[in-house]
């Protein structure tokens, strides 16, 4: 930490911008790339200590280099009854992922919301501990988000105000039992009915997960390439789609719902879910149960893996992706409208629909991966134009954008225009106050 | 809102500090009082519109003058299936309470955590909407806490950076059924066992509440005065305590636990709770159940009231209180140690122990009301000295302070000393950036 402080002070002295990365694996949103070529990458991946894991209170304190794979290993090796919320790509940093608002479908899948206390270095080298970490003798740093006075943790999300060197993060306690329900929905246009069904179960408190309703391509792209199903340009056509669905035995939408609790509670909730699913047209499902003491598989809890990144090979060795992440209201009709619109927009550019809807309490987060051939210059150009248009269109539709690749942060910022871009001015005031030399990740927030 | 902006601009022009209050009912922590006598009180209580209440997504958008009583009335009048999390005093502002980290034992009882989007005016008059409110057409302002870039909502908690004019707040959906278990614990020293029992049930997911384990005086002071039980000075003695407990039929500790969900789920959870409580020494309990459609009482959901403030009459017409709020680890032994210590410290000053432990997921919040006779100058002096000492002692014990009356904010700030008071420096940087004229509530954060 003292070394990082020294580097930041030196960067200020020589006016050299720094681009801090945890492990540089923010795939789909920029990776390790800096926004300006003149920046030095400040690679924190060797700060990789797991400082504490507490079982009764279910939290950890980690450094930026700790990956999901490393933490999972640690929990396994010590046989600790804590479950990790795991995003699509397991080699990434736990800290980096939480700061960049990574998600999973677990009850702890809003990773930023699990942050409890930071240690960080401001742009001029000042070391700060937030929350109860500011009390030198405190035993509460990772136990209590509420401090006295303002809580600062969340201004360091997706920001360029400081370099986080330690983070407290809440983990899920292993339940006594769980059930995993793997659901297939045959028809594309049943999306609305699925959403309404699962949303009702969430409102009743039956489902604690934020289940992901994923288009068939999110599975198909992991085990096959587009060229297996179709030759020529353009989006996957109807024949290819039919062949693929039949061959791989997938639903158009595929959902995994997990239930947690005491065995009897899980049984009761499972009965509710089964009842509701039975009413859905074209729906089939498979149930597996688990109970404490039994061997456990990835059906029941998140297991980090690097396989998820393989889906770019859908377009061969030059496949790449940028992700479009937007929140929409909890409404089946709205979700179906959004899906149809996105499918049409992507198809018009020759792109396929790799999409997942994460159903949360008060909104649905839709993440669409735009997979393109990076060797195909025309396609790159098309994707670029499309992405900018999508930003403006969803803003007009009243949806909420919460992540974007670096190159589009300025476009997104322009849609946050209330009060003459008041939020941008607020961001700039804080930037000047916390990083007066504008040394940290200039351009990252689309402003400074 | 435009008027408030104009007032703030005028205050800047004439360098007159403003002390904004929502309804000025932050009882126990300062009320409507300004820290410096030279401030003008900016009373926002006439901004009292309930702008929106949304049932499916369970949120409201309100102005600072809206009280818990007003919102409860609104929900009743429109027969809306939303339950309000209600603090001890119902005449206070919903916004003021959330900003000052008010609590209840409901699953939505961490009020600050339910904030979703603010409209506010910075110290120089700039109007800002945070979160999705910054997107002019957004339908997501109250639905989605996660924005793009930093989330600013929580820097306006207990701060003096801006004046909040609108707040989105998440509400609890009325469940299908509930059960209320009213528990009495005979012996003071059973506190540890009660905490361990309820904490285990919380970890299993049986209890979603943060139940309050309250000392007998929190009930007794609402229906009787100290003089009914004892004459003379000093803390309540053993004889008076025994007489009071027998006469009023109270446990030394009294707990209310509520369960929510589908009727079958509530039954299952209730069975678990009953089983565990049966093992507790000196524990008796009473159960009442409710189901949708049946008339509902305050046993099952919070009903705002102004009666709670009456407990100061424990010491007659000149009774007053300041509250001491501190987070401790989830440990029965630690809670009992803390209770014994506080009882001893208070008794040494002639004060009684009005105390509640709110059991949360990863910490316990203990709120002790120091009720004193404000006409008794010696007692006031004693309480003042005691309060300052308590702050330093709990800091040394490693506990976390999260609220304090105005006069003690500087003492608390001094215990947040990591890195040469780095968190205080951070607070000051933001103060200069967001309220350059230092017009808003100077002194409120113990710094500026």
Cβ proximity of B171 and B108 under 8 Å: yes
Pairing outcome for strands A364-373 and A354-359: antiparallel
| Digit-coded pLDDT (tens) for B62-100 | 999 999 999 999 999 999 999 999 998 999 999 999 999
Residues B348 and A377: their CA atoms lie apart, in Å, by 80
The tokens 């479009």 sit on which residue?
Answer: A324
| Digit-coded pLDDT (tens) for A334-362 | 999 999 999 999 999 999 999 999 999 99
Reference B86, options B62, B65, B102; nearest CA is B102
Cβ proximity of A95 and A164 under 8 Å: yes
Q: Are the Cβ atoms of B430 and A432 closer than 8 angstroms?
A: no
Residue A231 in tokens: 């030759």
Residue of A nearest to B429 (CA): A433
- What percentage of chain A carries pLDDT values higher than 90? 91
Q: Are the Cβ atoms of A434 and B427 closer than 8 angstroms?
A: no
Residue of A nearest to B259 (CA): A205
**Closest Cβ–Cβ partner in B127, B427, B430 for A430:** B430
Residues B236 and B238: their CA atoms lie apart, in Å, by 7
Chain B residues close to A110, C-beta within 8 Å: 146
Q: Are the Cβ atoms of A268 and B262 closer than 8 angstroms?
A: yes
Pairing outcome for strands B212-215 and B354-359: antiparallel
Chain A residues close to B58, C-beta within 8 Å: 362
Q: Are the Cβ atoms of A56 and B330 closer than 8 angstroms?
A: yes
- Number of Cβ pairs < 8 A linking chain A and chain B: 284
For residue A23, pLDDT beyond 90: yes
Chain B residues close to A147, C-beta within 8 Å: 400, 402
Q: What is the 3-state secondary structure (H, E, C) of B148-194?
A: CCCCCHHHHCCCCCEEEEEEEEECEECCCEEEEEEEEECCHHHHHHH
Contacts of A207 (CB under 8 A, 6+ apart): A198, A201, A257, A259, A269, A273
Reference A436, options A129, A1, A15; nearest CA is A15
For chain A, the C-alpha Rg in angstroms (whole number) is 22
For residue A426, pLDDT beyond 90: yes
Reference B261, options B199, B208, B201; nearest CA is B208
Cβ proximity of A325 and A365 under 8 Å: yes
Q: Compute φ and ψ for A115, nearest 5 degrees.
A: -70, 130
In this predicted structure, which of A142-156, A247-261, A300-314 has the lowest mean pLDDT? A300-314
A398 touches chain B (CB under 8 A): yes
Q: What is the dihedral of CA B84, B85, B86, B91, to 10 degrees?
A: -50
Task: A271-274: list long-range contacts, CB under 8 Å, 24+ apart.
Answer: A272/A201, A272/A204, A272/A206, A272/B262, A273/A181, A273/A201, A273/A206, A273/A207, A274/A181
The tokens 């009390």 sit on which residue?
Answer: A135
Q: Compute φ and ψ for A405, nearest 5 degrees.
A: -60, 155
Helix (H) or strand (E) holding B40, with range, is strand B40-43
Question: Exposed/middle/buried for B276, CB within 10 Å: 0-12, 13-18, 19+?
Answer: middle
Chain A residues close to B151, C-beta within 8 Å: 112, 154-155, 157
Reference A225, options A312, A159, A305; nearest CA is A312
B404 touches chain A (CB under 8 A): yes
Give the model's pLDDT for residue A448.
47
Chain A residues close to B127, C-beta within 8 Å: 419, 422
Q: In what order do the strands lie in the sheet with B127-129?
A: B50-54, B59-62, B162-170, B115-122, B127-129
Pairing outcome for strands B115-122 and B127-129: antiparallel
**Closest Cβ–Cβ partner in B137, B139, B148 for A404:** B148
Residue B97 in tokens: 């309470």
Chain B residues close to A264, C-beta within 8 Å: 268
Q: Where would I find the beta strands (DSSP E) of A34-78? A: 40-43, 50-54, 59-62
Q: Compute φ and ψ for B288, nearest 5 degrees.
A: -135, 145
Chain B residues close to A113, C-beta within 8 Å: 145
Residues A93 and A50: their CA atoms lie apart, in Å, by 12
The tokens 């681009």 sit on which residue?
Answer: A19
Cβ proximity of A151 and A130 under 8 Å: yes
Q: Are the Cβ atoms of B145 and A113 closer than 8 angstroms?
A: yes
A118 touches chain B (CB under 8 A): no
Residue of A nearest to B199 (CA): A56
Residues B41 and B23: their CA atoms lie apart, in Å, by 11
**How high is the mean pLDDT of chain A?**
95
Residues A18 and A444: their CA atoms lie apart, in Å, by 11
Assign A447 a pLDDT band (cuts: 50, 70, 90): low
Q: Are the Cβ atoms of B137 and A398 closer than 8 angstroms?
A: yes
Cβ proximity of A150 and A255 under 8 Å: no
Chain A residues close to B35, C-beta within 8 Å: none
For chain B, the C-alpha Rg in angstroms (whole number) is 22
DSSP B103: B
DSSP A93: B
ipTM entry: 0.96
Residues B146 and B116: their CA atoms lie apart, in Å, by 9
Q: Are the Cβ atoms of A262 and B205 closer than 8 angstroms?
A: yes
| Digit-coded pLDDT (tens) for A81-113 | 999 999 989 999 999 999 999 999 999 999 999
Q: Are the Cβ atoms of B154 and A156 closer than 8 angstroms?
A: no
B400 touches chain A (CB under 8 A): yes
For residue A373, pLDDT beyond 50: yes
Chain B residues close to A272, C-beta within 8 Å: 262
**Residues of chain B numbered 321-340 and touching chain A (CB < 8 Å):** 327-330
B155 touches chain A (CB under 8 A): yes
Q: Are the Cβ atoms of B269 and A272 closer than 8 angstroms?
A: no
| DSSP SS3 for B316 | coil
Give the model's pLDDT for residue A198.
98
Contacts of B378 (CB under 8 A, 6+ apart): none
Residue A160 in tokens: 């360029």
Interface with chain B: mutation pick from A26, A97, A150, A413, highest number of B CBs within 10 Å? A150
Q: Are the Cβ atoms of B128 and A265 closer than 8 angstroms?
A: no
CA distance B413 to chain A (A): 8
Residue A167 in tokens: 């983070």
Cβ proximity of B418 and B426 under 8 Å: no
Chain A residues close to B264, C-beta within 8 Å: 268
Cβ proximity of B245 and A301 under 8 Å: no
Cβ proximity of A47 and A2 under 8 Å: no
Give the model's pLDDT for residue B447.
57
Residues A331 and A194: their CA atoms lie apart, in Å, by 10
Helices marked H in B249-286: 263-278
Residues A283 and A47: their CA atoms lie apart, in Å, by 47
Residue ranges of chain B with per-residue pLDDT less than 70: 446-448
Q: Are the Cβ atoms of A129 and B418 closer than 8 angstroms?
A: yes
**Closest Cβ–Cβ partner in A59, A134, A140 for B416:** A134
A380 touches chain B (CB under 8 A): no
DSSP for A320-376, please give it: EEEEEEEEE-S-HHHHHHHHHHHHHHHHHTT---EEEEEE-SS-EEEEEEEEEETT-
Residues B371 and A277: their CA atoms lie apart, in Å, by 56
Cβ proximity of B187 and A192 under 8 Å: no
């Amino acid at each position: 930490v003292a070394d990082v402080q020294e580097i930041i002070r030196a960067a200020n002295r020589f006016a050299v911008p720094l681009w801090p990365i945890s492990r540089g694996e923010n795939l789909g949103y920029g990776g390790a790339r800096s926004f300006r070529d003149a920046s030095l990458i400040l690679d924190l991946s060797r700060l990789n200590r797991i400082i504490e894991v507490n079982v009764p209170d279910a939290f950890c304190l980690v450094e930026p280099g700790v990956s999901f794979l490393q933490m999972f290993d640690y929990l396994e090796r010590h046989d600790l009854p804590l479950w990790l919320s795991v995003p699509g790509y397991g080699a990434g940093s736990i800290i980096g992922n939480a700061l960049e608002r990574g998600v999973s479908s677990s009850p702890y899948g809003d990773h930023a919301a699990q942050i409890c206390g930071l240690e960080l270095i401001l742009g001029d080298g000042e070391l700060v501990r937030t929350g109860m970490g500011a009390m030198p003798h405190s035993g509460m740093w990772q136990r209590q988000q509420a401090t006295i006075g303002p809580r600062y943790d969340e201004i360091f999300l997706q920001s360029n105000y400081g370099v986080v060197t330690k983070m407290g993060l809440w983990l899920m306690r292993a339940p006594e039992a769980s059930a995993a329900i793997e659901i297939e929905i045959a028809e594309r246009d049943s999306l609305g009915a699925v959403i309404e069904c699962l949303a009702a179960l969430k409102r009743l408190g039956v489902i604690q997960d934020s289940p992901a309703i994923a288009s068939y391509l999110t599975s198909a792209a992991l085990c096959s390439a587009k060229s297996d199903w179709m030759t020529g340009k353009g989006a996957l056509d109807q024949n290819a789609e039919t062949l693929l669905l039949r061959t791989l035995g997938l639903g158009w939408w595929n959902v995994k719902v997990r239930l947690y609790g005491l065995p009897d509670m899980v049984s009761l909730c499972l009965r509710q879910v089964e009842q509701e699913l039975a009413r859905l047209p074209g729906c089939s499902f498979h149930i597996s149960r688990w109970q404490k003491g039994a061997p456990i598989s990835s059906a029941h809890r998140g297991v980090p893996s690097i396989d998820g990144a393989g889906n770019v090979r859908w377009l061969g060795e030059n496949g790449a992706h940028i992700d479009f992440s937007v929140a929409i209201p909890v409404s089946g009709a709205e979700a179906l409208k959004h899906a149809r619109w996105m499918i049409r927009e992507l198809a018009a550019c020759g792109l396929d629909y790799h999409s997942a809807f994460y159903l949360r309490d008060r909104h649905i987060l839709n993440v669409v991966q735009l997979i393109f051939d990076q060797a195909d210059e025309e396609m790159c150009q098309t994707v670029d134009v499309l992405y900018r248009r999508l930003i403006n269109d969803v803003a007009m539709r009243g949806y909420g954008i919460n992540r974007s690749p670096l190159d589009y942060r300025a476009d997104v910022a322009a849609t946050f225009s209330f009060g003459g871009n008041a939020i941008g001015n607020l961001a700039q005031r804080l930037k000047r106050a916390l990083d007066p030399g504008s040394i940290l990740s200039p351009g990252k927030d689309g402003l400074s």
